[in-house]
Amino acid sequence: DAKTTQPNSMESNEEEPVHLPCNHSTISGTDYIHWYRQLPSQGPEYVIHGLTSNVNNRMASLAIAEDRKSSTLILHRATLRDAAVYYCILSALSNTGKLIFGQGTTLQVKP
């Protein structure tokens, strides 16, 4: 399974946009890019996923580089409730139910 690289931690101010980067230089053509987040003492929560095109949903946006070797999760207006560990995970087309988690990025949101 291809690996991802994320910064260990990031800080943001409340109500400002947050851009969480992820590098996945060994991504294969059929790997989906998934983002999950884990709030303290909870199970991971699905945020967004994409294959080639940028994606938007009510939680966030996902910007995927043209060569697909990197992506960015965008939270448009961070709130204190967005403080969590964010995981960028590659999921093979044939292994959707099998996620390999890295260390993720711990996002701190300051009031």
Figure out which of the listed residues 11, 76, 93, 108 binds another protein, where binding follows CB under 8 A: 93
Rounding to the nearest 10 degrees, give the CA dihedral for residues 68, 58, 99, 109.
Answer: 90
39 scored as a contact of another protein (CB under 8 A):
no
| Binding letters toward another protein, positions 7-26, x by CB under 8 A | --------------------
Figure out which of the listed residues 49, 59, 61, 74 binds another protein, where binding follows CB under 8 A: 49
Count, residues in the chain: 111
48 or 78: CB nearest another protein? 48
- Residue 102's nearest CA partner among 85, 87, 92 is 87
Please report the sign of the dihedral spanned by the C-alpha atoms of residue 11, residue 5, residue 60, residue 68.
positive
Q: For the chain, report the end-to-end CA distance as a whole number of angstroms.
A: 38
Q: Which stretch binds another protein (CB under 8 A): 9-17, 19-27, 30-38, 71-79?
A: 30-38
32 scored as a contact of another protein (CB under 8 A):
yes
